[in-house]
Amino acid sequence: MRRSPFALRVLAILPIAFLGYFFVYPLVRISVLALAPQGTPDLSVFTDVLTDPDLLGVAWFTLWQAALSTIITLAVGFPAAYAFAHYRFPGKTFLRALMTIPFVLPTLVVGAAFVALLGPGGALGIDLQGTVTAIVVAHVFYNVPVIVRGVGSFWEQLDPGITDAARTLGAGPLTAFRTITAPLLAPAIVSSTALVFLFTFTSFGVILVLGGFRNATIEVEIWRQTTAFLRLDIAAALSLLQLGFLAAVLAAYNRYQERRAVGIQLRTGLAPARRPRSWAGRAVAFGIVTATSALLLVPLAVLVGRSFVTPDGVGLGNYLGLGERTTALFVPPLEAVVNSVRLAVAATVLAVIVGIVAAATIAYVRGPLARGVDLLLMLPLAASAVTIGFGLLVSMGTPIDLRRSLILIPIAHALVAIPFVVRSALPVLRAIRPRLREAAMVLGASPGRAWWTVDAPLAARAFAVGTAFAFAVSVGEFGATAFLARPSAPTLPVAIFRLLGQPGAETTGRAMALSVILMILTAAAVLAIEAARGGAVEEL
């Protein structure tokens, strides 16, 4: 707002102070722990980490399982992306919406679903828990939607006339794909593949549930060094090494995108989908869609079914037992539901307030301040939730010890959720015509009142999308919560993890019941997002 740059600059202090104290400062504390554990510069911790065969094995496993998961995810998702981009078939709209669900599901729900499918007494009759196979299959389930939606959506917008011209000049289908389509798709493929690699490299909940400590990744090792061995210096060194590696991957990706950025003609709408013309084409399309649907639906269906299986038969015993204490928890599991909802509401309020102020600063204020706030907001995306949780744990002891309070949990969740709130609100705030605010101020409205009566109603749907995203992120967050949750006040993901770690059909059944409840809460948030998005992109 032109008449109140000073007011906006003052408001910009809020996101800067919040992220500075609760994100940048913890990273500084992690660096001090790793680089100067005794108060003086000392690189011996890094030497110990880089020469320890067990830790090197953890790093190597983290790298190759992420690479393997990414390759298989791409191999499974690419044919599905083609089918969704080019073919019209019954249920396509429903399946496209279904693609969103696995990606937003909490990792503990995914882990529990595959325990029900591939674990002891699982639906498939084989026990793969603790194996790399179970980890990779769960990662493929979790990340196939990234490939299908990322590559498929771009593929739909490619002008088919480019390929048709190559075919007219005599190129066969494979030659036209290799020389024309594949290079045009390359940026979308690389972008989606990079996301999948980063997600699988920093996987925590899935690894912890399905792989255990025998197949630990760097994330799991940071948690174990902190909670089991109390080696904060080693955990800090691992966090910095992982952060440096991820920063290098992101820098390489950005450089690739800049070098490959070319102007191409995209369709303003989607390319017209058609039904497969030949029986062979129909069989291929049917097989791809069926396999993709099975991959997405079967684990969740098995999870729901397993939640009703009790030692006494099929019934509601697992759900009714959530009000009773167990040996795995200090409180009845049902209290974890209440804790998660309460903390998610607090985190959502915090993320929305900070996120909207940050989005307004970036949208309305020009110059270094806006660019600095934008960069600061992206930093939490480069760090994993485990790093955020570990950083808060080692830094929030002074001047006030916040580690004894539950307030750190919604703060950690808000750090993860704020970028989603900003990205939901920012395009809409930038699209609002400035003359609407100026007209209100000409009529006597103060800058604040003009924003409240003009901008806020127009951006309300975008704010609702960000709110639902923040709630979905918070209610299922496990990486940071694993460091910060108290035994007497577990969240849903923590309770599920502890119940899955206890032997016995009764505790496993209750873990499945809690997972279904968490899945329902997340699905409700996703439905709210889709409903709000219906008008979030209207022309303003």
Q: The tokens 């090494």 sit on which residue?
A: 241
How far apart are alpha carbons 358 and 78 in whole angstroms?
37
Query: What is the mean pLDDT for each group of 10 consecutive residues in the chain (540 residues)?
Result: 54 86 91 81 85 93 95 91 78 71 82 88 84 93 86 73 64 69 80 89 90 88 89 90 86 72 50 63 77 84 91 89 84 92 94 89 75 77 85 86 86 91 80 68 65 72 84 90 88 91 83 92 79 50
How far apart are alpha carbons 69 and 38 in whole angstroms?
39
Q: Two tokens at 338?
A: 């209440």
Whether residue 37 has a cis bond before it, omega within 30° of 0: no
Position 537 scores a pLDDT of: 40
Rg of the chain on CA atoms, in Å: 25
Q: Dump the DSSP string for 198-238.
A: HHHHT--HHHHHHTGGGG--HHHHHHHHHHTS--HHHHHHH
Domains of the chain, start order: 1-35+316-540 (1.10.3720.10), 48-202+262-306 (1.10.3720.10)
CB 471 within 8 A of CB 526: no
Position 221 scores a pLDDT of: 93
Q: The tokens 């209750």 sit on which residue?
A: 510
How much of the chain is helix, strand and coil, in % rounded to 5? 75, 0, 25
Burial class (CB in 10 A: 0-12, 13-18, 19+), 167: middle
How far apart are alpha carbons 37 and 236 in whole angstroms?
10
Position 505 scores a pLDDT of: 76
Q: Return the axis-axis angle of helices 408-431 and 368-382, rounded to nearest 10°.
A: 130
Instruction: Fill in the DSSP letter of residue 524.
Output: H
Position 3 scores a pLDDT of: 43
CB 416 within 8 A of CB 350: no
Backbone angles phi, psi at 87, to 5 degrees: -110, 150
Distances (CA, A) of 396 to 291, 400, 467, 481: 48, 7, 27, 15
